[in-house]
Amino acid sequence: MRIDDAADAYATHLRDVRRLSPATVRAYRSDLADLSATAGAAELGDVDLEQLREWLWRATKRGDAKSTIARRTAAARGFFAWASEAGLIAADPSLRLVAPKRGRSLPFVATADALTELLDRLATRAGEGDPAALRDHAVLELLYGTGVRVSELCGLDLDDLDGERRTVRVMGKGAKERVVPFGGAAARALDAYLVRGRPVLLARRDDSPGEQAVLLGTRGSRLGARAAYDIVARTLGPAARATVGPHALRHSAATHLLDGGADLRTVQELLGHASLGTTQIYTHVSSERLAATYRLAHPRA
């Protein structure tokens, strides 16, 4: 079987059986397409360990990030393990393929004061009644107030909202559903958008009166993740003096929860992390912030 044909079947397996997110499936399929183009073998059974190592070495020489190379290693190992179990190859050539150690960089976290000031400015703009401003305010308040992923936010339907309990029901990675609470500020921004912003945006799309998406684009259809990223980058970027997207608000929400006394397990459940180890990076962020404050404030630091 040709590598590309097997890779297509593997992508289907990742999507339909393992229920990985579309973004992860696309990334793995792209990695395998690159492998097919550079491994020097068209047939799946002709790929050996040395060709896989050569493929990763080329990526290193090209300047790819360690995280990218680690993902490519994971894509190759998962792919060949699946092919071996399916009987497509006699032996798995990736068993001794080792990924480089990933340097762990701390995510950008905005201060609570900076976010409060920014969100207050958005609330003032939204108060003028512009439907896009009302939506943008709701987007940022919900991202920061819940810590959900941008794909989870954009996937919200009206039935997923519980205004009385102030919760949203989201579908996370691996099709795992969870219910996440949000506070009064997010509730007010959301209510204002639903009453004064969403109907105006929905009216711009005559062919979809039954649209159930909570967040709408300027033409009345569901707001996409890319558009939501642009909203956050445009709003938060100048304050951060860098290009930052929705994940910065997720990082900030998690860190501020820990700073405020929330336990790690609760934060894990709110964020929808499968592993507690993923959540633990935020303890490092909090420690770094504590150390930085100490160095600035203590006379004998």
Per-residue pLDDT, 94: 92
What are the pLDDT digits (tens) for 254-275?
A: 888 888 888 888 888 888 887 7
What are the pLDDT digits (tens) for 174-224?
A: 778 899 999 999 999 999 999 999 999 999 887 766 789 999 999 899 999
Is 282 among the catalytic positions?
yes
User: Three-state secondary structure along 80-100?
Assistant: HHHHHHCCCCCCCCCCCCCCC
**Model-wide pTM > 0.75:** no
Catalytic residue among 77, 250, 251, 256: 250
**Host H or E run for residue 167:** strand 167-171
Is 101 among the catalytic positions?
no
Q: Which CATH superfamily is domain 113-242 in?
A: Intergrase catalytic core (1.10.443.10)
Is 176 among the catalytic positions?
no
Per the model's pLDDT, the better-predicted residue between 101 and 251 turns out to be 251
Is 173 among the catalytic positions?
yes
Separation of alpha carbons 236 and 136, rounded Å: 12
Catalytic residue among 53, 166, 173, 222: 173
The encoded tokens of residue 92 equal 């798995």
- What's the first-to-final CA gap in the chain, in angstroms? 64
Give the contacts of 298 (CB within 8 A, at least 6 positions apart).
Answer: none
Is 251 among the catalytic positions?
no
Average pLDDT over residues 100-112: 68
What are the pLDDT digits (tens) for 60-77?
A: 888 888 888 889 999 999
Give the contacts of 128 (CB within 8 A, at least 6 positions apart).
Answer: none
Domain ranges of the chain: 3-85, 113-242
What are the pLDDT digits (tens) for 1-40?
A: 889 999 999 999 999 999 888 888 999 999 999 998 887 6
Is 13 among the catalytic positions?
no
Out of 1.10.150, 1.10.10, 1.10.260, 1.10.730, select the CATH number for domain 3-85.
1.10.150
β 167-171/161-162 pair status: antiparallel
Residue 15 main-chain phi, psi, to 5 deg:
-75, -45
Catalytic residue among 137, 149, 198, 256: 149
